[in-house]
């Protein structure tokens, strides 16, 4: 007997975005690391929470720095090679922050990953950030042994175009050998939603305080968080989860509903 009733579509894979979806890494993670790198490189740039909220709409750290020069300060302070070097410096700062275990996973993430890893369902990552930053995030104590269990990790510069282009989700599907109809994407931003939907994948949005006012009208389900038995999710729109938390059965029902 199931909690959700009958469903007929077979869930084969779940693909997770990283930044903002697995953990709130943007405002208190990448942004802080960018500012530290700017300071250590002698730049007088400082990205406030408000500025970063705009900048984060451009996916990719290197692309974000270029966009800042072009559209915010209207000054080419750094060329492409200098941007690359600054971005590497920022990622070293970010990894150091995570070594101190500063950015916890969002509610329900570790629980759901463990349930999926113990099942037949394949699990992947589709992210704009680099493999090094994913390793840094998963080096935190609560995620010990999890990263090795993913079936595919599609990350960073491995595709021609970053989100909102669908390339990274298409790569994750191909790497796992599953079709878009057999998979679910979990995202937290409008740009990520466009990417997953562009690849034809049913998408669950777990927004956060940084992205809650973004346009999620294309999403198949919008909820506040994956949730825990004692820390319930709220269904916002689209498919509604019957339990206070997202589990494998809930995801199967989500994929299976017309």
Q: Does 24 bind ligand XBP (CB under 6 A)?
A: no
Q: Which one of residues 26, 151, 167, 247 is an interface residue with ligand XBP (CB under 6 A)? A: 26
CB 112 to ligand XBP: min, Å? 17
φ, ψ of residue 157 to 5 degrees: the values are -85, 15
Beta strands 152-155; 122-127: pairing state: parallel
Q: Which one of residues 35, 128, 182, 211 is an interface residue with ligand XBP (CB under 6 A)? A: 128
Question: CA 49 to CA 246: how far, in whole Å?
Answer: 30
Half-sphere exposure of 112 (CA within 13 A, CB side): 27
Write out the DSSP string of 129-167.
S-HHHHHHHHTSGGGTTTGGG-SEEEEGGGSSS-TTSSH
Q: Does 252 bind ligand XBP (CB under 6 A)?
A: no
With contacts defined by CB under 6 A, how many residues of the chain interact with ligand XBP? 16
Q: Which residues contact 110 (CB under 8 A, 6 or more apart)?
A: 142, 143, 146
Contact characters 69-108, ligand XBP, x per CB under 6 A:
----------------------------------------
- Which of the ranges 4-12, 125-133, 204-212, 223-231 carries the binding residues for ligand XBP, by CB under 6 A? 125-133
Indicate the residue whose CB is closest to ligand XBP.
Answer: 61
Q: Which one of residues 59, 140, 221, 225 is an interface residue with ligand XBP (CB under 6 A)? A: 59
CB 111 to ligand XBP: min, Å? 20
Helix H or strand E segment including 235: strand 235-238
The DSSP code for 3 is S
φ, ψ of residue 235 to 5 degrees: the values are -80, 125
Contact characters 183-222, ligand XBP, x per CB under 6 A:
---------x------------------------------
- Which of the ranges 14-22, 99-107, 202-210, 238-246 carries the binding residues for ligand XBP, by CB under 6 A? 14-22
Considering beta carbons, is residue 186 or 253 the nearer one to ligand XBP?
Answer: 186
Query: Which tokens sit at 33?
Result: 């690391």
Counts of helices then strands in the chain (DSSP H, E): 9, 7
Query: Where do contacts with ligand XBP occur on this chain (CB under 6 A)?
Result: 17-20, 26, 30, 59-61, 127-130, 133, 163, 192
**Residues labelled as active-site residues:** 17, 19
């Amino acid at each position: 007997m199931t909690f959700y009733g009958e469903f007929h579509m077979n869930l084969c894979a779940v693909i997770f975005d990283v930044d903002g979806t697995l953990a709130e890494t943007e405002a208190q993670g990448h942004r802080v690391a960018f500012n530290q790198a700017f300071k250590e490189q002698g730049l007088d740039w400082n990205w406030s929470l408000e500025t970063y909220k705009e900048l984060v709409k451009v996916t990719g750290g290197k692309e974000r720095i270029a966009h800042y020069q072009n559209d915010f300060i209207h000054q080419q302070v750094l060329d492409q090679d200098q941007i690359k070097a600054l971005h590497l410096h920022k990622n070293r700062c970010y990894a150091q922050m995570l070594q101190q275990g500063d950015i916890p996973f969002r509610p329900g993430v570790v629980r759901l990953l463990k349930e999926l890893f113990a099942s037949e369902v394949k699990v992947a990552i589709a992210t704009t950030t680099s493999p090094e930053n994913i390793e840094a995030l998963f080096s935190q104590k609560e995620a010990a042994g999890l990263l090795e269990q993913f079936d595919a990790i599609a990350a960073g510069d491995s595709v021609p175009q970053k989100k909102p282009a669908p390339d990274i989700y298409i790569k994750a599907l191909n790497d796992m050998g599953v079709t878009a109809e057999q998979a679910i994407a979990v995202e937290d931003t409008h740009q990520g939603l466009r990417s997953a939907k562009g690849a034809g994948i049913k998408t669950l949005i777990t927004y956060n305080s940084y992205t809650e006012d973004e346009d999620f009208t294309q999403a198949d389900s919008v909820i506040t968080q994956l949730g825990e038995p004692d820390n319930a999710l709220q269904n916002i729109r689209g498919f509604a989860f019957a339990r206070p938390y997202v589990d494998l059965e809930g995801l199967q029902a989500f994929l299976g509903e017309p």
